Structure 1
Amino acid sequence: MIQTYDDLKAAVGRWLHRTDLAAVAEDFITLFQMRANRNLRVRQMETNLSQMVSGQTVALPADWLEFIGQPTLGGKPQSFVTRDQFKRLDGLVHVFEQGYFSIFGSSLRLNVDVSAGVTLDFDYYAKIPALSDTNPTNWLLQDGADVYLYGSLLEAAPYLNNDARIATWQGLLTTAMNDLQAASDTAKTSGGTLEIR
């Protein structure tokens, strides 16, 4: 059973029939976590940030991947514009009017006058907490140990010059990730059906 970081590293060695990969197995896991953060968007990654802001530039959380829906300022939804559009906007709008935002690097920029202070609120997808010796488990290892295992094995194949196994591990990983995504989508609707209103 794979329940911890050490369990996962040991499983990688067993599946590859190698006893000399203990150190490099950590790299395979890290590389897979990077891949998963780029490709996976499930309910377990959803979180919220709510904070008082009084400036137009707000640092995005370190674990931010992308927004879910629109950010709000004082409860009013803000509309996304491109960087070029943002640069062309003339002046700040009042906090109670329709505002705009854009992403510049790792910051959210607002064209709303928030100098008096207003609550910024948004939902977002957060990075998967990285496994390590000091963080031996996370939600993905608990809910999808197969995803972690197949992803790590896929990352191991090029290192081992075993190109013949890439398609096998990729196929198993794709199936496991699709299953995890389907379970997440079903859980979000609690088994109900969507209705057009």
Structure 2
Amino acid sequence: MSIVAPSTPDDITSQDYFWLVETVKNWLHRSDLAARVPDFILLAESRINRLARVRVMGVDAALVMTPGSRFVVLPSDYVAPSAVWLDANQPRAKLTPLVVEQMPVASDSGMPTYWAVDGTMLAFDRVPDQAYPITLRYRARFRLTAQAPTNYLLSQYPDLYLYGALLESAPFIGADERIGLWKSMFDQAIQEINNSEHQSRSVGVLTTDVPTSMLSRRCY
């Protein structure tokens, strides 16, 4: 038996949250699951946040250490860390990451040297002696809702959201031959997106990594 993918509803003209909800309903063709589609999208997004490596997920957060505490609360949309800088002086100092179990804790207060993620907190190796400003670069999660109906990932890769949401319906639709196809398409989309994003980052590094000697040359 061949599997035929339904077409996108004609009255849906933009790729946003509402388009996604209606498209998932149309593809499932199960009126009894219509109310669960937002849950399928939420679960798919959770999976996507763990697997996708998209450049726009990298954001900087300006944080401040509190005297008397070596912990700072992580942003609510935090997924994974990239780097931490101490902004007390210029140029700013990049702190060294460690596994929290291996990070030494100094008995005196002062400027931190090391950092680690400890649960929902950013931990440092010493208590600050003043309110030091820091910058955390981290991977932020995508969150698509009716109140925030669009984001970069959906506009650029709508198939990823679609196949991910359809795949999350598996516990409700049972032994459906479409599940294998959806999983295959979702896995392929993740791989293609990560490869594409990796190439974009690599090109960015190559085009900006200009030798200092080249900057002083003049063209005639």
- The TM tier, using the shorter chain, reads 0.7 to 0.9
What is the Cα deviation at residue 85 of structure 1? 2.5
How far apart are the structure 1 equivalents of 2:129 and 2:159?
49
Q: Could you tell me which of 76, 87, 97 is aligned with 1:80? A: 97
Q: In the alignment, what sits opposite 2:123?
A: 109
Q: Could you tell me which of 1, 4, 29 is aligned with 2:16? A: 4
Q: What are structure 1's unaligned runs of at least 5 residues? A: none
What is the Cα deviation at residue 99 of structure 1? 0.9
Q: Could you tell me which of 123, 137, 143 is aligned with 2:137? A: 123
How far apart are the structure 2 equivalents of 1:43 and 1:141?
14
For the pair shown, the structure with the greater C-alpha radius of gyration is 2
1:113-158 C-alpha deviation (Å, 9 max, x unpaired): 4222222112110011x22221222221111110000001111122
Which stretch of structure 1 is more off in the superposition, 33-42 or 58-67? 33-42
Poorly superposed stretches of 4+, deviation over 4 Å:
191-195
Specify the SS of the correspondent of 1:133. coil
Question: Match for 2:125: what amino acid?
Answer: N
Greater RCO (Cα-Cα under 8 Å, separation 6 or more): 1
Size of the alignment, in residue pairs?
A: 191
Q: In the alignment, what sits opposite 1:100?
A: 114
| Structure 2 contact 51–190 (Cα < 8 Å) conserved | no
Which stretch of structure 1 is more off in the superposition, 109-118 or 33-42? 109-118
What is the root-mean-square deviation in Å for CA atoms of aligned residues?
2.3
Q: Percent identity?
A: 29
What is the Cα deviation at residue 93 of structure 1? 6.1
Q: What are structure 2's unaligned runs of at least 5 residues? A: 1-12, 212-220
Q: In the alignment, what sits opposite 1:155?
A: 168
Q: In the alignment, what sits opposite 2:50?
A: 38
Question: Match for 1:80: what amino acid?
Answer: P
TM-score, length-normalised on structure 2?
A: 0.77
